[in-house]
Structure 1
């Protein structure tokens, strides 16, 4: 049996919600954008492993009404798929996988207001950060200059709602590319445990990847340094499909087949520098590669490699 190429589409469930019909007013000199609509984000599960050193404190964001933050977001994604004989498949992902995908750089400026009273169906929140995209030089993205991203969350860093709004003249391609890149920041925002922690503390955060209902993510944080509002965290990320099988359409008139996940492994390394008085990390460099192997009744297996690299500075 031969396999047709599997369709791997990131399900940007929030994309359709961000394209409202009306336009919001903008301060002088800023690009007006369409009225954004908030979409809920699945609550993370936080597990404290070790509390760390004896000098401990509760890590909490204090960015409401703090100074405006400027940061550059750099996102690279890659994907590759192939069919191999089962005997030759290595389940371990490569560390420096690149693949074909998009590389995008976004200048961001934003600040945090106190969260307004929750609407019906919304979770309670204390913070409402909002960032706007600066001028973009790339021709295919230029129309999305002024794109805005906002979210509601609590002082622990748990996000309950995310909102996007694009300039009315933004092309569909520019909207999709910028929104997808901005969503990647939601996946790397540190979430802190309830308990007091010190240097050496380790905790895990499990969540569905924002914007992609088909991916689950487990992040492990280790606090390397803590000095006032500044915390340096080592982070590793593991991603895995939420579905245990894929239905594959056959080619050349052959019947399709259900392929089950035979293995999934991630390689990851990263460092995040957090200033608790700022909504986004002041510095971050995170790389993750995931290999998923699908197998059916045939000796051939489908191998999918995907990569994500996120930088903030």
Structure 2
């Protein structure tokens, strides 16, 4: 049986998810927060997706390089809000849209080191996670999601990027109490933390500049190719506004869907996604000041 799936949502970074979030951040007092690894939460080092940045147009004069220049111990609080709608057709018949709760997560991030070559190490901790009830969603579903998400409070790790925003290394810890499916899903989400940062081209650019970033990702058990397109629409000193678009495509493949029993098999026939939005950055901070994006995905499996 074929099941085309349409996911719609409103974002930012990490694009790369079926439900794209709205991201906002605020600064915090300059103090360093260190993470503590425990035997119950061993560190997991993630493979960093390969990515290529290509300048398409340099924009108008004056042109300057785009580089992140945070100071050591700078901190941000990031709030990620995810809203999604789920619609499905089976055998050509449309099923009424399935309401889903709104999810909000809060993350503290601290710049713990800035190297002479411009590499930036950041440590992050999830400090809050909540689920808002939605009309038509059974209370037990909302409560189950809330209990699972609450286990993420205290989860943390680190990521290293260069001054152009390209991820070089990432590591995090997860509590073993997380269910296998939820743990794999969260690992995929953390693997996409690099999408909260917008990679810059090597060349100097001005307003109107465009560039493209291509990546190969492992997302929710599937391998896909992602193309991101950026346009510099405004720059005033270190304040930058970017228009962002992305597309994702996956070829037919066996799908290791998180949470499935070992004996269950799912084959992905096709996956395509498109998204667009806007990101506001301050170059003396690494995470967006605010970012919003909407996305649509179409998936077919059997």
Q: 1:236 Cα deviation (Å)?
A: 0.7
Aligned to 1:164: 172
Aligned to 2:110: 111
Aligned to 1:270: 277
Aligned to 1:63: 70
Equivalent residues in 2 for 1:238-257, closer than 5 Å: 238-241=247-250, 243-244=251-252
Between the aligned partners of 2:273 and 2:205, the Cα distance in structure 1 is: 27
Query: Which of 35, 47, 58 pairs up with 1:40?
Result: 47
Does residue 232 in structure 1 map to residue 222 in structure 2? no
- Quickly say closer, same or farther: Cα 1:128–1:234, change in 2 above 3 A: same
Q: 1:276 Cα deviation (Å)?
A: 1.5
Between the aligned partners of 2:214 and 2:291, the Cα distance in structure 1 is: 20
Q: Does the 8 Å CA contact 1:206/1:216 hold for their aligned counterparts?
A: yes
Q: Does the 8 Å CA contact 2:37/2:43 hold for their aligned counterparts?
A: no
Aligned to 1:120: none
- Quickly say closer, same or farther: Cα 1:158–1:28, change in 2 above 3 A: closer
- Quickly say closer, same or farther: Cα 1:290–1:28, change in 2 above 3 A: closer
- Quickly say closer, same or farther: Cα 1:29–1:217, change in 2 above 3 A: closer
Q: Does the 8 Å CA contact 1:187/1:210 hold for their aligned counterparts?
A: no
Does residue 291 in structure 1 map to residue 295 in structure 2? no
Q: 1:278 Cα deviation (Å)?
A: 1.6
Instruction: Provide Cα deviations, 1:83-110, integer angstroms capped at 9, x if missing partner.
Output: 556xx9xxxxxxxx97676753211111
- Quickly say closer, same or farther: Cα 1:190–1:99, change in 2 above 3 A: farther
Query: Which of 122, 135, 138 pairs up with 2:128?
Result: 135
- Quickly say closer, same or farther: Cα 1:128–1:104, change in 2 above 3 A: same
- Quickly say closer, same or farther: Cα 1:125–1:54, change in 2 above 3 A: closer
Between the aligned partners of 1:177 and 1:156, the Cα distance in structure 2 is: 28
Equivalent residues in 2 for 1:87-98, closer than 5 Å: none
Between the aligned partners of 1:289 and 1:5, the Cα distance in structure 2 is: 16
**In structure 2, the residue corresponding to 1:288 is in which secondary structure?**
strand
**In structure 1, the residue corresponding to 2:129 is in which secondary structure?**
coil
Aligned to 2:228: 219
TM-score by length of 1: 0.65
Q: Does the 8 Å CA contact 2:3/2:90 hold for their aligned counterparts?
A: no
**In structure 2, the residue corresponding to 1:139 is in which secondary structure?**
helix
TM-score by length of 2: 0.67
Q: Does the 8 Å CA contact 1:145/1:167 hold for their aligned counterparts?
A: no
Query: Which of 34, 50, 56 pairs up with 1:49?
Result: 56
Unmatched 5+ residue regions in structure 2? 6-31, 131-145, 256-266
Q: 1:64 Cα deviation (Å)?
A: 4.4
Q: 1:246 Cα deviation (Å)?
A: 6.0
Aligned to 1:193: 201
Q: 1:283 Cα deviation (Å)?
A: 0.7
Between the aligned partners of 2:196 and 2:33, the Cα distance in structure 1 is: 32
- Quickly say closer, same or farther: Cα 1:71–1:98, change in 2 above 3 A: farther
Q: Does the 8 Å CA contact 1:205/1:219 hold for their aligned counterparts?
A: yes
User: How many corresponding residue pairs?
Assistant: 248
Q: 1:136 Cα deviation (Å)?
A: 3.3
The Cα RMSD (Å) is 3.9
Instruction: Provide Cα deviations, 1:59-96, integer angstroms capped at 9, x if missing partner.
Output: 111124052111101234566554556xx9xxxxxxxx
Higher strand share goes to which structure? 2
Q: Does the 8 Å CA contact 1:230/1:275 hold for their aligned counterparts?
A: yes
Of structures 1 and 2, the larger Rg is shown by: 1
Q: Does the 8 Å CA contact 2:83/2:101 hold for their aligned counterparts?
A: yes
Q: Does the 8 Å CA contact 1:146/1:167 hold for their aligned counterparts?
A: no
